[in-house]
Every structure is written in C-alpha cells, then in structure tokens.
Chain A
Amino acid sequence: MIALLASGFGVLAALMAAVGLYGVLAYSTTQRTSEIGIRMALGATRGSVVRMVMFEVLWLAGISIAIALPVSLLLMSAVRSQLYGISSSDPLTLGLTIVVVTLVAIASAMLPARRASRVEPMKALRYE
C-alpha cells in the first residue's frame, strides 16, 4: 500500500516535471521564433529545426543528470538505514531513472520542437 502510494507520488512528480519542462520549452521556442525564421530563410529544413530543439533539450537533460546523479547518491546513502531489500546505489534503479528522465525530457520537447519547425520564415522575420 505504502509502496503503491510512493510509486504514485513518483509518477505524479515525473508528470509535473514533464508539464513544467514543456511550459519552459514552449516559452523558449516562442522567444526564438525570429531566430528560427532566420535559420529557415538561410536554409534550415524543418527536420534540422526539430533536431536543434531536441539536441538542446537532451543537452540540458544531460547536464541535469550529471548534477543530480552524485547529489542523489549522496542523499540516498544518508537514508540507507531506511531502505529495505534494495541498495542505496542500486545500478538498475539509477539506470532506469536516467532513462525515464531522458524520455520525459524528449516527450516534453516534441510538441514545442514540432511547433518550431512549422514557423513560417516570412512571418517569423517580422516577429519582434
């Protein structure tokens, strides 16, 4: 029961992080409308715009994981006594967490990336 509750909270936290990330990315993409228009006027394809946005998201996710991983290992060793049946540095858990965080980042970025690629260069160049 408690495990289910804890899992539910974990899923909820991931969902909220995804929504927050989507909001930030959507805003950031809107701010870059003019830049995207310039890039497209200079030869960027829709695919390259999507790749640009996704790469930046993955880069941010990578930095976040690089910072969060040692911090979480430190904190988890502090709660070692509270854990039962699992190590505080269980590689499978850590690995799965990294995969889930990366997938959440990718999922959050897909809609803003697609929207960015649909920018009309002509309109974007007038965007201030």
Chain B
Amino acid sequence: MIQLKNIERTYKSGAGQTWVLRRVNLEIQPGEFITVMGPSGAGKSSLLNVLAFLDDQWTGEYWFREQAAYTMKRKERAELAKKNIGMVFQSYHLLDDLTVMENIDLPLSYKDIPRSERQSLVADTLDRFRIVAKKDLYPSQLSGGQQQLVGVARGVIHKPALLLADEPTGNLHSEQAKEIMELFRELNQQGTTIVQVTHSEANAAYGTRTIQMRDGWVVGDTANPNLSPANLTATEPRDAAVNR
C-alpha cells in the first residue's frame, strides 16, 4: 500500500541543519496495524506528517497505492490525502464552535458529496460510535474520552484506507485509552490500515507490527528480524546496520 524509500527530512538550525528523518525505508501492507515507537525527538511524528502529506519538505520516494506521490504537486497530494487518509490527533483538534455533528461532518464538507448523502453518512457514524445523543453538544461539553471518540469518528467517516493516529490516547486516562484502542482494533479488523505513534507499550500491544525509531533512523521492525536494536553492535556504523 505504501512504500517509503530513503525518506529524509531536515530543518535548518543556526548555521547547520537538524536531521529528523534519515534514510527511512518502509513498506506498509494493507490491513496492517503498525505502532511507531521511540524516545522523544526520534522522528515518529515527523514520519506521520510525511505519511499524511502534511509535510512536503522531505526528500526520497513515497509511493501510495502504486502512485508516485513524491512526483506530485502539493494540490495533487492534498487530493490524495483527502480521499485516502484520516487523522486522529493527541489533542483531538475539534473545532470548538462546531457541534459534535458538525465536527464529524467537516471532512465531508470538503468533498463533492450531495447533502443528503452527507447527512446519511454522519447519521450512520453517530450511530456506529454510539454518540447520537451528543450530536448537538459542543466539544467543551464532552469529556476527553468523548472528544477523542468524536475525533476518531471524524477521522474515519469518509472510510479512509489509512488511519494515522498521533498519540491518540496521550491525553486520556487508562479506561478511556482502552476504549479508544479497542475501537482501533475493531476498525483494523474491518480493513482499515492503521499507523499509530505512541509511547505506551499497552497501546502497542493492539498492533500487529512495531517499528522502533531513534534519532530519525528506523532501528527496529518486528516485520524485519534483521532490523532490530539488539542486532546493532557497538562497532557497526548505524547506517550500515539499518540498511542491512
């Protein structure tokens, strides 16, 4: 579904530059539930931003469903993201002056979908997530868990092929976090490919594959036994190890 080849991302800092992604090579198959883990500053969120087409300052090759996204213009990438990708954020990022129903409808409002169909999709989603009773409430009237539930509903309403979640339970307590992760598992079982960034081992256990990152490098991948932090030796150059 997705192929990343030698993806690199740098930021200018002072006289030099800071590398946030270094020669990232990754293949994501449809239906996978991938967890990206690593210490702060490892490049996890940067990788997610590249996958989501929110960032276009990277270099390398990005193939999305056999389309060469790296050759596309910004508008074409935005169109690709709009059709295929849904996002869930740590801070929910709901719009405070829109109701639950209007927040969920937001991604659909940017597509050419007839109004009646939009209303039907929103109604189905409210029902599916069991938040019909809350449809006219505003985000400030909801708990953190409920807000994230709305965030997830908004992220999947247009039935994206890929759902990207950046620390989706970071602002939730354990019970709420468990509910959200159960929901992700259910979505994955129904066919949605999910990539989540998390620090939580408990959340990672819901996934089918774990990728470890450190200092912008992919240093571990449960789908690639050759690529494991345990296989990195003290004398081996890091770049030789990750390209093995």
Contacts and interface: CB of A to CB of B under 8 A. Distances in A.
A43 interface: yes
Interface in B59-99: 75, 78, 81-82, 87, 89, 93, 95
Given A122-B54, A122-B55, A125-B89, A45 B78 contact: yes
B49 interface: yes
Contacts of B81: 43
Interface string A39-54: 1011111001000000
Contacts of B154: 42
B106 A42 contact: yes
Contacts of B55: 122
The bracket for how many chain B residues form the interface is: 10 to 19
Contacts of B89: 125
Contact of A45 (B106, B107, B110): B110
B52 interface: yes
Interface residues of A, number: 13
A121 interface: yes
Contacts of A125: 54, 89, 93
Interface in B31-54: 49, 52, 54
A48 B110 contact: yes
A43 B107 contact: yes
A34 B55 CA distance: 16
Contacts of B78: 43, 45
Contacts, number: 34
Contact of A38 (B82, B95, B111): B95
Interface in B153-194: 154
Nearest to B92: A38
Nearest to B46: A122
Contact of B49 (A39, A44, A122): A122
A121 B110 contact: no
Contacts of B49: 122
A106 to B, nearest CB: 24
A56 to B, nearest CB: 12
A38 B150 CA distance: 14
B95 A121 contact: no
Nearest to B155: A42
A35 B110 contact: no
Q: Which of B52, B54, B154 has the most CB of A within 10 A?
A: B54
A43 B95 contact: no
Nearest to B106: A42
Contacts of B93: 34, 38, 41, 125
B107 A42 contact: yes
A59 to B, nearest CB: 15
Q: Which of A34, A43, A48, A122 has the most CB of B within 10 A?
A: A43
A43 B75 CA distance: 11
21 contacts: A34-B93, A35-B95, A39-B95, A39-B110, A41-B87, A41-B93, A42-B87, A42-B107, A42-B110, A42-B154, A43-B81, A43-B110, A43-B111, A44-B110, A45-B75, A45-B110, A48-B110, A121-B54, A122-B49, A122-B55, A125-B93
User: Which 7 pairs from chain A and chain B are nearest by CB?
Assistant: A43-B110, A43-B82, A122-B54, A42-B107, A38-B93, A121-B54, A122-B55
Interface of A: 34-35, 38-39, 41-45, 48, 121-122, 125
Given A38-B93, A122-B49, 7 more contacts: A41-B52, A41-B87, A41-B93, A42-B106, A42-B110, A43-B78, A43-B107
